[in-house]
Chains A and B, each alone.
Chain A
Amino acid sequence: MKKTFFLFKIFSALSLLLAAVSWAGEPVQLRILYLNDFHGFAEPYQPAGSPEKLGGIASLAEEVNRLRKERPTLLLAGGDMIQGNPWANLFEGKSSIEVMNAMDFSAMVLGNHEFDFGQEVLKKRIRETRFPVLAANVQGMSDIKPYVLKEVSGLKIAIIGLITEETPITTHPKNVMGLVFSPIIDSAQKVLRELGDRPDLVIVLSHLGLPTDRRLAQAVKGIQLIVGGHTHTRIESPMKVDGTLIVQAWEHAKVLGVLDLTVQDRKVIQYEGKLTVIRPDKIRPEPSVAEIVNRFQKQTAAILDEVIGEAQVDLQGKGSRSQETNLGNLIADILREETQADVAMTNGGGIRADILKGLIRMKDILSVLPFSNHPVVLKVNGHELKSIFEYGLTGPDGSGGGFPQVSGIRLTYNPAAPEGQRIKDFQVGGIPLDPNAWYTLATNDFLVAGGDGYAVLKNIMEKNEGASIPDHRVILFDLGREIGDLVTEYIKEKKQISASLEGRIQKEY
């Protein structure tokens, strides 16, 4: 009896000792797989200037499965997953979520482009996910969580989501109505206080961009790893800033991020990270993900072939580089109507095809407007507006890619007059232009960036820096929709489409 009791005491002491050793923390190995800014680029493609095709989410999924078998793994998404390529856009991101569910993601942070289909669609998408969707600095949407706690091999891991505070200015204002985007440093510190001692490892899943990730690492202690996105940065080996590791996996599923960590006593004691390039000719596609990709690809082709309206006359676009066209008028009118601007202009060089009288299919719009140009509305004064058009009419005989197709404007010009003095008569809404009045001008981001040589537009931005009156020259910059989307929606609504030449821009020698 005494012997039994003695053995029991020894056994209890040994158990306590073992428990103490466990609590002190054996090193735990963990693999973090990550991608960001997928934007629905489900199929492999050959990037501009690249000698080979890269990417393909089904091949990436196969690589994920292979790596998962080797050690305990988390699979993380750094945002901007559901919007971008038609494969995603035509289904408002449903295709992306289905693939992500099939790949068994551990968590995803919201990216700014997740809001581009509007809050109701985003809520629908979040409710379809089989993983948590995170953003600790967004208030007003209950489906979003600030963080999630995961346990892997006994390791308690907190994953905190943070999204760029610039989201409200990169999507249509209606998409973020009622939401508050709080400062990220405050939000991170608040969550860390709430988490306290619970996690052994804190990961920030960020859609902030690398510069802000670095500032976060410098400003906030207690974050061991930031898995980033937004800047589409190809960080080949993890960066370290003030003890925090920072990684990011480029874009479009062209690479998979692989980070192996050894964690002990709440510290990363060893790490090794790289980006694995996804070469579709070398990695077979994972069958269940390939099935989803192909299914939505077939539906994409069917949708693009759908009839959306009927042209009552030939809509001529090909001549838009040198003269007013009825299709140019229609596109400019749609841009002005949808943005409620005083005037609208788009560059003739961006209109690449005609739509013949008869049925209009969605793919016809892609042919007419193949470039991903987004609507921008600027506040300009009359003097600036005239300068914009003086430039636009400076090609030989006033032609060139920048030749403007317009709405809300009538002007006459003499192509033979000296540069800067060609416009003779300029009316906005039927009233002579007032050089000192302010007008709202709807155009596209290509021109505002200075494309087709529109330096006068980019100079407005330069002048704006430090300008006090009027504030906010940029009224709208809708990165979530393209001009082609506005045209498609218009045609779907009106069904019967007609447009005519009206002498909006006339030569007068």
Chain B
Amino acid sequence: MRIWLNDQPLSLVPGMKVRQALIQANLIQEIEKGAKVLDEWGNEVGLDGALEDGMRYVLKSAE
């Protein structure tokens, strides 16, 4: 399964979640600082949210 996080492609096992995408992108530590993950429609998603092939996400830093 391939998804995009901040325009970076990530290859993940089907069934993996937002959390594992952040781990792979080495961005998981940003969550502790208040960053949020948004889907391509601008909705916040939980770290245990399911991913789907082709989805695009952005990590939005805390304001």
Contact = CB atoms under 8 A, between A and B. Distances in A.
Contact of B31 (A49, A450, A477): A49
Interface stretch (A24-32, A206-214, A324-332): A206-214
A9 interface: no
A164 interface: yes
Contacts of B46: 37, 232-234, 250-252
A477 B12 contact: no
Contacts of B23: 446, 449-451
Interface residues of B, number: 34
Interface in B41-57: 41, 43-52, 54-55
B24 A49 contact: no
A251 B32 CA distance: 18
A232 B49 contact: yes
B13 A166 contact: no
Nearest to A461: B11
A49 B43 contact: no
Interface in B23-48: 23-24, 26, 31-36, 39, 41, 43-48
B48 A251 contact: yes
Chain A interface residue number, banded: 35 or more
A311 interface: no
Contacts of B33: 49
Interface-centre pick from B16, B18, B39 (highest chain A CB count, 10 A): B16
A62 interface: no
Contact of B49 (A251, A451, A474, A477): A251
25 contacts: A37-B46, A84-B48, A112-B50, A170-B14, A209-B50, A209-B52, A210-B43, A211-B54, A212-B52, A231-B39, A231-B52, A232-B46, A232-B47, A233-B45, A233-B46, A248-B43, A250-B44, A252-B46, A376-B13, A445-B16, A449-B12, A449-B21, A450-B24, A450-B26, A451-B24
Given A49-B34, A451-B23, 16 more contacts: A39-B48, A49-B62, A166-B50, A169-B14, A210-B43, A230-B49, A232-B18, A232-B48, A233-B39, A233-B46, A235-B43, A446-B23, A449-B21, A450-B23, A465-B11, A477-B15
